[in-house]
Structure 1
Amino acid sequence: MRLVTVEYRARVLHVRMSSPPVNAFSAAFFDDLHAVLASAGPEIGAVVISSTVERVFAAGGDIPFMARADEPTSENYVRRCQEVYGLLERPEVVSIMAIDGACLGGGLELSLAADIRIASPSSRLGLPEVSLGILAGGGAIHRLVRAVGQGVARDLLLTGEPISAKQAHMWGLVNRLAADPLAAALALAEKVGSFSPEAVGATKVLALSASTDEFEDGLRDELARWVEVRRGANAQEGLDAFAQRRAPRFERRHA
Structure 2
Amino acid sequence: MSRVSVDITDHIARVTLTRPDKMNAVDPQMAEAIVRAGQSLMESDIRAVVLSGEGKSFCAGLDVMSFANFAAGDPEALVMPRTHGNTNIFQEVAMVWRRLPVPVIAALHGAVYGAGLQLALGADIRIAAPDAKLAIMEMKWGLIPDMGGMVLLPRLVRSDVIRRMVYSAQPVAADQARDWGLVTELSDDPQAAALEMAQEIAGKSPSAIRAAKRLIAVSESGADEDMILLAESREQAGLFGTPHQMEVIAANMARRKPKF
Structure 2 distance, partners of 1:171, 1:72, is 34
Aligned to 1:249: 259
RMSD: 1.8
User: Unaligned 5+ residue runs, structure 2?
Assistant: none
Structure 1, 41-50 or 104-113: larger mean CA deviation? 41-50
Aligned to 1:25: 26
Alignment pair present for 1:121 and 2:130: yes
Alignment pair present for 1:46 and 2:48: yes
Cα offset for 1:91?
4.9
Aligned to 1:217: 227
Amino acid at match of 1:221: A
Question: What percent of counterpart residues are identical?
Answer: 31
Structure 1 distance, partners of 2:17, 2:110, is 13
> Given that residues 92 and 198 in structure 1 are in contact (C-alpha distance below 8 angstroms), is that contact kept between their aligned partners in structure 2?
no
> Given that residues 46 and 93 in structure 1 are in contact (C-alpha distance below 8 angstroms), is that contact kept between their aligned partners in structure 2?
yes
Alignment pair present for 1:59 and 2:68: no
Cα offset for 1:185?
0.8
Superposed, 1:131-150 pairs within 5 Å as 131-150=140-159
Q: TM-score, structure 1 length as denominator?
A: 0.91
Structure 1 distance, partners of 2:184, 2:198, is 14
Cα offset for 1:179?
0.4
Of the two structures, which has the highest relative contact order with CA contacts closer than 8 Å and spacing of 6 or more? 1
Structure 2 distance, partners of 1:22, 1:73, is 28
Q: TM-score, structure 2 length as denominator?
A: 0.89
Amino acid at match of 1:9: T
> Given that residues 93 and 147 in structure 2 are in contact (C-alpha distance below 8 angstroms), is that contact kept between their aligned partners in structure 1?
no
State the secondary structure of the residue aligned to 2:6: strand
State the secondary structure of the residue aligned to 2:160: helix
Cα offset for 1:129?
1.1
Aligned to 2:8: 8
Alignment pair present for 1:235 and 2:238: no
Structure 1 distance, partners of 2:73, 2:17, is 24
Cα offset for 1:73?
4.4
Structure 1, 193-202 or 69-78: larger mean CA deviation? 69-78
Structure 2 distance, partners of 1:144, 1:29, is 22
Q: How many residues align?
A: 249
Runs of 4+ in 1 over 3 A off after TM superposition: none
User: Unaligned 5+ residue runs, structure 1?
Assistant: 251-255
Q: CA offsets per residue over residues 45-88 of structure 1, 9 Å max, x none? A: 1111111122x111122333323232244315981022232221
